[in-house]
Structure 1
Amino acid sequence: MDVNFRKIDIDQYDEDVLQEEELYEADPRDPAQVLNDAKAKVGAVRNALSKGDTVGAINLVLDGTPVGPNVEEAKNLNLQTLTSILNSTKASEIPAIVRSLSQDAQDTLMKYLYKGMALPGWGEVSGSVLLGWHEKLTEVAGTGCIVRAMTDRRTV
């Protein structure tokens, strides 16, 4: 039985097929610049956390998140920075922090929570931390936040 027909990419012959680049605008910055910006955020986040400004640190990470192709290293660095903030935050502070975020920042945070949950073994963060943040974020932002995070093509 010949199964080679299953390995043919038929979309290459279709002129009307949507490419990922056509679905959203990629980051206009050079991938090296995006990585440098992500590295600069790490220092600024540490500085904010040392001052006890958790909201400011989260806003720094969620503002200008890298999206699009060719910026995977910057995306991973941003995720690591955010997970360090999530791990160091007390559970009693989470609702106030989530309320202080804008709707776009809440949606981006939800994307990062799902990305953290998709990691094998959940990476450096424990499941209870991610699920705790998810619960509080859903209570404040509603289920619309989940829908927007799941349907947005701009992955973090």
Structure 2
Amino acid sequence: MSFRKIDIDAYDEDVLLESELYEPDPRDPAQALSDAKQKQVVVRSALAKGDIPGALDIALDSAPYGPNVEEAKNLTLQTVVSILNSTKSSEISNVVKALSQDAQDTLMKYIYKGMGMPGWGDVSGSVLLGWHEKLTEIAGTGCIVRVMTDRRTV
């Protein structure tokens, strides 16, 4: 029965490691956190001016991904969620249309991350589902497929 405790992957040369699937975030954890904090300040300023597309674009630009940057990921999620919560449902389509395809894909990652949180965190399910519906209408199902197959998780 001791053979069942052997890690056979250790002997396989063709094992694909998580680190081989994508380039890691080039920033160190402290730099990623600092960038996230700076973005949060700029986003709040943009929201105060009523510039929701600009605020969302700033928050989604160069989002932290990969291991060791959990604090920056969580802060960026909070920033994105604050934008989603402060947007009227009638404005969502225009905001999504103003985003680039990469930004739309990153937004979808954050929507899914928000849905995956226990109790949905600080955001109501109806807000996330409303954004998901509009984003899927505009970006298409390809957006969902790209997010599901991308290993760079936010």
Relative to the length of structure 2, the TM-score reads 0.96
User: Is 2:101 the counterpart of 1:90?
Assistant: no
Distance 1:136 1:4 in 2: 52
2:151 match: secondary structure: coil
Per-residue CA deviations over 1:20-65 (Å, capped at 9, x if unaligned) read: 1111111111111011101111101001100111011100110010
Distance 2:115 2:3 in 1: 35
What is the one-letter code of the residue matched to 2:18?
E
Segments ≥4 residues shifted beyond 6 Å: none
Per-residue CA deviations over 1:64-95 (Å, capped at 9, x if unaligned) read: 10011100111011001100110010000000
Match of residue 104 from structure 2:
106
Distance 1:108 1:127 in 2: 19
Instruction: Please provide the CA RMSD for this pair.
Output: 1.3
Match of residue 148 from structure 1:
146
Match of residue 15 from structure 1:
13
Distance 1:69 1:54 in 2: 29
Distance 2:95 2:2 in 1: 54
What is the one-letter code of the residue matched to 2:16?
L
Distance 2:7 2:88 in 1: 49
1:58 match: secondary structure: helix
Question: Structure 1's 125 and 3: CA in aligned 2 closer, same or farther, altered over 3 A?
Answer: farther
Once the two structures are overlaid, the 10-residue window that deviates more, 23-32 or 125-134, is 23-32
Match of residue 78 from structure 2:
80
Distance 2:2 2:144 in 1: 39
1:66 match: secondary structure: coil
Measured after TM superposition, the shift of residue 11 of structure 1 is 1.7
Structure 2: which 5+ runs fail to align? none
* Identical amino acids, percent of aligned pairs: 74
What is the one-letter code of the residue matched to 2:139?
A
Structure 1: which 5+ runs fail to align? none
Measured after TM superposition, the shift of residue 9 of structure 1 is 3.2
User: Is 2:148 the counterpart of 1:130?
Assistant: no
Match of 1:28 among 26, 29, 38: 26
Distance 2:2 2:122 in 1: 41
Measured after TM superposition, the shift of residue 15 of structure 1 is 1.9
Distance 1:110 1:142 in 2: 11
